[in-house]
Structure 1
């Protein structure tokens, strides 16, 4: 289970994964800024990939969990289960380099479609949590809406879902065990 910092910890873990697993090493930089803030000029020699958290949704399949026992006489409200949607966009002064960078970033996420162990950072480090990365189909209309919202021309981008990320609830309830039951029987 995770702290409320888990959304930032997931982003940090994915950023580090892209930095450490790219081939060749240091092929591209990784940016977490809004794609609307990214700039490209001809003096930029090193391409970059932008990893932007675009949407956070509650996972509907984990909504009806039971309260969990956390000690004698105490139950904890189930954790909030989230799906995170990331936009992955390459930036370079060369369109071919953008395609190469995007391909390499997608290979990294494909090779590590389940992120565990030493790749997890922050509150996720040392836990048994798993981040499942799925390439999400985003049609041209959806991506065009995103770029229109940034007030920028369309750029080649792909979307990734990260499932499920948990935030522990702080709500607890005191309960007592049933130790005695009185039954009254009568004949009709």
Structure 2
């Protein structure tokens, strides 16, 4: 299971996929694709990946404790959904025109769909995380940008789930080593 860094790990995995599949064809430098906040006016990147929300994935709840070595059990992981937007940095000195921006977004969407299963764990209890494009309305997208006090701009909105955040809470227990039964013959 993944520890507290899982959120950052998933963001970096998406970033890695984008860099490997877009550079140098449409964007010259891998560093021009970055984890970024749309409000950052000084950053020089072309394509930004912004994590804008994290929610618990209640449908995926696991109730059973996970047995560890010895007489210990770990509480189950918390399943999460991470919500991202991929956006063009229109203030970047490298951006040339609207057509190029649309090509970059088209390729980014293609990369996300070609890698819809983000990672597959070797451990059978962990599963894998899926990338899903979000069917947000224009109003929902506008709200995301208005909260940031940034004018709306075109982007790709997607989620990654389930992302399993492990618990560090461990419980010890005693094993049953002997049992006595008194069976009386009643007749």
The aligned residue for residue 34 of structure 1 is: 37
Name which of structure 1's ranges 163-172 and 177-186 shifts more when overlaid on structure 2: 177-186
CA change 1:182–1:88 in 2 (3 A) is: same
* CA–CA separation in structure 2 for the residues paired with 1:13 and 1:174: 35
Structure 1 residue 93: deviation in Å?
A: 4.4
Q: Deviations over 1:142-161 (max 9, x none)?
A: 11111111212110112111
What does 1:59-74 align with in structure 2 at a 5 Å threshold?
Answer: 59-74=57-72
Instruction: Determine whether 1:99 maps to 2:98.
Output: no
Residues 34, 52 of structure 1: 8 Å contact kept: yes
TM-score (norm: length of structure 1): 0.80
* CA–CA separation in structure 2 for the residues paired with 1:116 and 1:93: 34
The aligned residue for residue 161 of structure 2 is: 163
The aligned residue for residue 12 of structure 1 is: 12
* CA–CA separation in structure 1 for the residues paired with 2:85 and 2:98: 18
TM-score (norm: length of structure 2): 0.81
Which SS does the other structure have where 1:137 is aligned? coil
* CA–CA separation in structure 2 for the residues paired with 1:110 and 1:102: 12
CA change 1:82–1:185 in 2 (3 A) is: farther
* CA–CA separation in structure 2 for the residues paired with 1:71 and 1:181: 27
Residues 77, 171 of structure 1: 8 Å contact kept: yes
Structure 1 residue 131: deviation in Å?
A: 2.7
Structure 1 residue 175: deviation in Å?
A: 1.3
Structure 1 residue 25: deviation in Å?
A: 3.2
* CA–CA separation in structure 2 for the residues paired with 1:183 and 1:97: 82
Which SS does the other structure have where 2:20 is aligned? helix
Structure 1 residue 73: deviation in Å?
A: 2.0
What does 1:49-64 align with in structure 2 at a 5 Å threshold?
Answer: 49-64=47-62
CA change 1:165–1:182 in 2 (3 A) is: same
Q: Deviations over 1:23-79 (max 9, x none)?
A: 653526212121122469xxx9xx721110011111112224211111232111001
User: Which structure 2 segments of 5+ residues have no match?
Assistant: 90-94
Structure 1 residue 116: deviation in Å?
A: 2.9
Residues 65, 75 of structure 2: 8 Å contact kept: yes
Structure 1 residue 181: deviation in Å?
A: 5.1
CA change 1:183–1:48 in 2 (3 A) is: farther
The aligned residue for residue 2 of structure 2 is: 2
